[in-house]
Chain A
Amino acid sequence: MSKRTTGLAVEADGLTRSFGETRALDGLDLQVPAGTVYGLLGPNGAGKTTAVRVLATLLRPDGGRARVFGHDVVAEADAVRGRVSLTGQYASVDEDLTGVENLVLLGRLLGLAKPAARQRAESLLAAFGLTDAAGRQVKKYSGGMRRRIDIAASILSTPDLLFLDEPTTGLDPRSRNQVWEIVRAVVAHGTTVLLTTQYLDEADQLAGRIAVVDHGRVIAEGTPGELKSSVGSGTVHLRLRDPGRRPEAEKVLQAALGVPVQLEADPVALTARVRGDGSDLDASEQAARALGELARAGIVVDDFSLGQPSLDEVFLALTDHPAVEADERDDQLEAAR
């Protein structure tokens, strides 16, 4: 265990990779400390999946180099494969096969004898709450179950580094929480997890460090707190009891916060971005002051929340362009694959 939790799990230096005209990776640098959850955060088409595929030995980089636990991903691909596993964005299990068949198949491929593979499959299915679905084809699983069998397949032989490519995209909140719990258990056990995600709150919940990726390179890196404070803003959401007081509330808020206030479709709701100078306290102080002003004006607030900056806001702050614009790029990448 100590061997696994020291040093760097991943070191990437200036990775490049193009698909036709598109530069999916454009000089990506990365250092992932072993024994942690590391988040690659970015919009669709930013190059996250390409980066994971290069690190998992599925794609050769055009330029640059990458090592996983000191092994070069191109020259020593086999040594890397012995220590990693990958849960891809799309099911990395055979959908025609049942849950138990998938796990036995992979167990056999990892060198387990038939009875041992069977036993391992059964205990994994039990731990992942899939015993009842063991004999059903994976294509009949729900999204959350599919993710779980996928992750179970990835830890068949407990890897030192687990790649999770957008593990919660498309999942309902309950399934997402289940995946989060599983990721926490995996990392607590000593496995390094490299996670890609489009959601800041997911990276925030799970990752010790985050690299923000855009156009194939890392544009910011740090702990979740550092990243958020570099953006230095949050969003205040308010719901009033009386919709008639909304114009008045808008004026009060604008005066207190010094920012434009947005009126939502819901006639009692308002939102405003709070500028801060970097500390969370600052944003909450401003929000508290605004609440006080509203109370003084006799406006009843039923619901109040101060939200973190969203990925969009982080992106805007870091790149001056919104996070969602990469759709065509993504399509190109898909086609190039």
Chain B
Amino acid sequence: MAKYLLLKHYRGAPSPVNDVPMDQWTEDEITAHVQYMNDFADRLRNTGEFVDERALAQEGTWVRYDGEGRPPVTDGPFAETKDLIAGWMIIDVDSYERAVELAGELSAAPGKDGKPIHEWLELRPFYGHAPTITE
């Protein structure tokens, strides 16, 4: 009963094992990849461990307060940013071990030649409730 974020990066994570970019896959390979991701989410819905899944566009803007009465300052798009988050999945599981197991499975999505990408995913726990009984 702990929530974890599985964070997928466009850039910034260490290189995956099967490092061929998607634009060099065959269409069938792309279809197989997308199917794997959808099946994975469906499986978690089925086990009652799914919370949320979102993908982020690559475009983005930095925004900052610029003082009373002034419009916020914007900067970007941030083409130079080294780390770019691509999307996330949130899961609700019974243990850290289960979260690692699921992240491992998600990282095995097929890429070029139908072989697992071995992509690095970032696994981050959410803060939970302060427990009532602590002493």
Whether chains A and B associate is: no
Interface residues of B (CB under 8 A from A): none
Interface residues of A (CB under 8 A from B): none
